[in-house]
Structure formats: C-alpha cells, structure tokens
Amino acid sequence: MKQNKRILLVFGTRPEAIKMCPLVKELKGIDGFDVKVCLTGQHKEMLYSVTKHFEVFADYDLGIMRSGQGLFEITERITKGMRSLLMNLSPDIVLVHGDTTTAFATALACFYMKIPVGHVEAGLRTYDAQSPYPEEFNRRAISVIAKYHFAPTYRAKENLLSEGIKESSVFITGNTGIDALFTTVRDDYRSDLLDELSGKRVILITAHRRENLGEPMRNMFKAIKRVISEHPDTAAVYPIHLNPEVRRIADDILKDEERIRIIEPLDVFDFHNLMARSYLILTDSGGIQEEAPSLGVPVIVMRETTERPEGISAGTLKLAGVSEDGIYDSFTRLLNSDEEYSKMAKAQNPYGDGNASRRIADILKREFTD
C-alpha cells in the first residue's frame, strides 16, 4: 500500500496565517496527503484570531512569543523547536511563507536536516537588505534553500530566474492572500465603527515595520495628524500593531487628535471589510499592498522601498517614503484632488484571481502523488 505523503505547513505571524490558511484547507482535501500544521507562535493574539476565523487548528505550537522579542531569540527558539519536531515527524516537504523570521528559521532547520522546502510567495525583492529589514534577507535566504518556489507574479518569477534558480522549480500561482480576501469581503457587511464614522472619509492606517520604529514612525504619525486635523471631513482608524514600541510612539503623537481612533488589531474579517470601505489607506504593511489593488482602494505606502512594484504599475499604490513632508504632501494631494484620487481608485488584480492555493495544491499533487 502506498504511504501518504507528509506535508508540514509552518507559520507564526498574522500575515503568514492569512495567506497559509487557504492553502491548508486546499491541501487537506487531497487524497494521499497527510497534512499537519505547526505554528511557531511568533505572534500570539494576532495569530490566533486568524486561525480561529479560518477554523484551521494547529497540530503543533512552539509558542515562542515574548513581549519585545529580538531577532536572535526568535531565530534560536524556532530553529531549536523545529529540530525536535522535524526529527519526530520526518515530513516529505515543509511549506513556509514569505519573509518572516518564522519562515527563515524554519527553512534553515529544514536545510540542516535535508528536508525539502516549498516557498509560498517566493521571489519578492527590493534588493536592499536593509529595507524591509530583516525580511529582504529572509526571503532571499529561503530562495537559496527552497526546492519549490511558488511565485505570486511573473515579475517575482523573473527575479528568481535572474538569481540562477532553475526555471523548472518556479511556478507562477498568484498570491494566496487574494484567496483569503475573496472569502472575507461582503457587500452586506456593517459595523458600529463604520456607522459612527458615516459621512466622513475613512482613512485606514497601519504601521509596524522594524526599520520604521523610531524616527520614521514618528514622522509618519506627525504627517498623518497634521493632515487629518486640516480636513474635518476625514476620520482615521488605526488598528494598532501589538508591538509595545509601536504603541508607545502612537500614544505619544496621535492620542490627542479627536478624529484619529487608535483601536486594537482587528480580526481579519473586520479588517478586510473596513479596507473595502475605506477612502484611502496609509501603511507600511506588505500584505495590504497586495489586497488594496483588488479592492480599488488607493494606498500611500509609507516606506522607502517596495517589493510589490505590481501595485505601483497598476496605479493603486504610491510610494511616499518616510519623511514627514513627503507623507504630508502625498496624503494632502490625494484628499484635495479628485482627479489624482480617481486615477488611483481602480480595482486591479495584479496578485491573482483567488485560486493560488488550488494551483499550489495541484503542483504538489503532481509532484508527490502522480
């Protein structure tokens, strides 16, 4: 009798969970696969709210999160935790996602144990190892280790090929984040928050990147506060990241502006629906740069670089940098110019059609069971 192939999916932060849960569900539907999920627990509340929403339950949880954790601790706890798990489980393949330290440390553990890795969301690049930090290094290091590269776009595939990755190991699949988005956004969604803000242009804010902690984040918040105070028909909602350093800066600069609401992180269902109803988004997030083009909501990217140039080409994203004046100018222009705004507010789908997980599952099925 043929043995089931053992597939282990490992993830640990909110964005990885949002983009891996659709794939877990797809793989679980395939005969001949024994699918297991390991959470590293790099995030806690922000991770479990996603797995709960998608009803994906972990077989293993390394539970590594500590408040204010550093890269050394995350890397050490995950590599050691994965060593024991991989020894016990001997998976045929391990799937990791994107660019977090969870993904990098897991891939490294697999490399040490000679276990094949499949990289979901492969090939994104800025070619600046300091930005985003440490994600650009993480994703490039994973590309060196991975056997299968699931690239969301043609451009991501081209990046991989230009680095000498074998074409036969690279597959263009779309981004699984769009699969998730297609299941959450509802026409009939309503919320007390949106009711309270009715009549205002809702500006959605998120910010968390490690390289932005400190002066760049202070600049972002100062610019946002100036613009919101100058436009009484706007209200900003900021579902804050749980990093205590982010909260400290946000409290320091934004707290006394009446039309800026700092709220707890939103459940993915509420967040996607709030995005869909926002007038404009300001963010340093990666995933939001992929989701917003599908929803036709313009985004001001508060970063110096982006590994998601497809959204810039599609016209939905504007890279504003991290200076106070740069963000102030871009934000003000978009609020004051209907022409500029409507040029950006066009629904585009550069990141896929919602079937990325099915494509990845089909590829794995072909590779492992046919």
Tell whether residue 15 is a contact of ligand UD1 (CB under 6 A). Answer: yes
Pick between residue 13 and residue 234 the one whose CB is nearest to ligand UDP.
Answer: 13
Tell whether residue 287 is a contact of ligand UDP (CB under 6 A). Answer: yes
Residue 92's binding partner among ligand UD1, ligand UDP, none (Cβ under 5 to 8 angstroms by kind) is none
Q: Of the candidates 23, 47, 268, 295, which one interacts with ligand UDP according to CB under 6 A?
A: 268
Residue with tokens 């968390």: 208
Interface with ligand UD1 by CB under 6 A: which range of 36-44, 179-187, 275-283, 358-366? Answer: 36-44
Pick out residues in 150-189 that bind ligand UDP (CB under 6 A). 177
- Establish whether 340 is a catalytic residue: no
- Establish whether 99 is a catalytic residue: yes
Residue with tokens 């972002």: 220
Which member of 43, 97, 119, 208 is catalytic?
208
Which member of 210, 226, 259, 277 is catalytic?
210
Which member of 16, 121, 211, 324 is catalytic?
121
Query: How many residues lie near ligand UD1 (CB under 6 A)?
Result: 24
Interface with ligand UD1 by CB under 6 A: which range of 40-48, 121-129, 141-149, 252-260? Answer: 40-48
Tell whether residue 91 is a contact of ligand UD1 (CB under 6 A). Answer: no
Q: Is residue 226 within 8 Å of 216, Cβ to Cβ?
A: no
Residue 44's binding partner among ligand UDP, ligand UD1, none (Cβ under 5 to 8 angstroms by kind) is ligand UD1
Tell whether residue 279 is a contact of ligand UDP (CB under 6 A). Answer: no
Shortest approach of ligand UD1 to residue 73 CB, angstroms? 9
The residues carrying an active-site annotation are 99, 121, 135, 208, 210, 241
Which residues are at the interface with ligand UDP (CB under 6 A)? 14-15, 18, 177, 206, 208, 239, 265-266, 268, 271-272, 285-288, 291
